[in-house]
Amino acid sequence: MLHHRSHKLHTLKKKNKPRLNHSRDLMLNAPYFIGICGGSGSGKTTFCRQMVSILGEDRVLHISQDSYYRDLTHLPLEERAKVNFDHPDIVEFPLLVSHLDELFFGKTILLPKYDFSKHIRVVNSDIIMPKPIVLVEGILLFSDDATQKRLNHKVFIDVPEETRFERRLKRDIKERGRTAESVLHQLQVNVKPMHNLFVEPARKQADQIVSGEKPFDQEIRDLCLKILNETVL
C-alpha cells in the first residue's frame, strides 16, 4: 500500500505548485506543513531525516528552528555565551512565520545560517525552493502561536529528561565546539527550567505524541500515509 501511495506521490510536487488565480486551488495545492517539537535531544532531527529519506529530498523540505536564532554580533563573544538560547525570545519567530507564508504561496526564501560556536548569523543565506511537504522542527516551535497555527500536523517527541540531557551533551561537544563544563552549566541553568516552562506545556498543542526512545519507523510510515491521504487528490 505504501508503495502504491509513494507512486502517487511522484506527481505531488507538480500538483502542489500554487495557481494564484484561484484561492481554492491555492489552498489545495499549498505545501503540507508538519511541525516536529520536543525537548533538546529528543530526536527531532532524526525523525525529520527519516521522513526525508522515505519520501525523497525532491518532495520534502526540512527547516530547523535553530536557523532563526537572533544574530548577536552586537554583543561581545563572552556576552553572547550568556544568552538564554532556550527561551522563545531568542528565536526570530516573525521571520520564520513570514518564511512559512512565502512557502505557502510557492515563493522561495532566504534561509538564515547560524554559527553556534560564535552565536552569530553567517552572512550568506541558503536559497530555498518550496516543496510539497515542509518539515519544521524545534524545541520551542509550539510555544509560538503564530507558528504553530500554520502547521497542518504537529508531532511532539517524548523522551525522559536524563536521556535528552545525555544526547545534548554529546551533540554540543561534538558538533558545536562546546566544553562539557559549559554544556552542563547551560543544562542546569537554562535548558531544564525552560523545558519545564515552555516545551513540556506545548505538548498539549500536538496532534500526535511519539516516543523518542524507540525507532520511529512505524510512526513515520503512518504519518506518510496520512500526508498522502490528505494531499493527493
Q: How does the average pLDDT of the chain come out, rounded? A: 85
- Enter the DSSP assignment of 195: I
The count of domains in the chain is 1
Which letter, b or e, does each residue of 51-86 get, where b requires 16 or more Cβ atoms within 10 Å of its Cβ?
Answer: bbebbbeebbbbbbbebbbbebeeeeeeebeebebb
Alpha carbon 31 to chain centroid distance? 15
Full residue range of the structural domain in which residue 168 is found? 2-231
What is the CATH classification number for the domain harbouring 26?
Answer: 3.40.50.300
Per-residue pLDDT tens over the stretch 86-115: 999 999 999 999 999 999 999 999 999 999
pTM of the model: 0.82
The pLDDT, as a whole number, for residue 232 is 52
